[in-house]
């Protein structure tokens, strides 16, 4: 993993989560701007995936299947949260998508751990 890219994706996930939780507190409905926010995070995650596909197979360590299964799960979580959250008319519609940002951050932490401890040795 490229360190600055990893940190940029983490920052984007946490920023999206913070922004959406603010909108939760303000009882905002899920709107177009939220989908744009999720799309930006997803784009960054896909860049992370593309870079990983380029560099991970060439590394010496093991645990590569685990690495990619975590990374693909990470990419799917905000998408699932958008479908599941946006049908709710209460404040917790956007609150659910906000929580997915924290889940992405936690999963990325684990992806990075696998990279540091098992793959990039």
State both tokens at 19: 């922004």
3-state helix, strand, coil in the chain (%, to 5): 85, 0, 15
Closer residue to another protein in complex, CB, 42/88 = 88
**Between residues 8 and 92, which has the closer beta carbon with respect to another protein?**
92
Contact characters 36-65, another protein, x per CB under 8 A: ------------------------------
Which is nearer to another protein, 12 or 81 (by Cβ)?
A: 81
Verify binding: residue 15, another protein, rule CB under 8 A: no
Write down the residue that tokens 């479908």 correspond to.
83
DSSP 26-72: TTPPP-HHHHHHHHHHHHHHHHHHHHHHHHGGGSSSS-HHHHHHHHH
Output 26 or 32, the one with its CB closest to another protein.
26
Write the interaction track for another protein spanning residues 67-96; mark x where CB under 8 A is met and - where it is not. --x---x---x--xx--xx--xxxxxx-xx
């Amino acid at each position: 993993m490229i360190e600055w890219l990893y940190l940029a994706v983490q920052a984007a996930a946490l920023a999206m989560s913070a922004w959406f939780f603010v909108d939760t507190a303000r009882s905002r409905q899920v709107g177009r701007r939220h989908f744009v926010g999720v799309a930006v995070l997803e784009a960054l995650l896909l860049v992370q995936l593309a870079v990983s596909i380029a560099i991970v197979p060439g590394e010496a360590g093991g645990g590569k299947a685990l690495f990619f299964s975590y990374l693909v799960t990470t990419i799917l979580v905000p998408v699932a949260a958008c479908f599941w959250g946006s049908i709710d008319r209460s404040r917790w519609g956007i609150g659910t998508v906000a929580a997915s940002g924290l889940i992405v951050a936690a999963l990325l932490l684990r992806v990075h751990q696998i990279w540091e401890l098992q793959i990039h040795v």
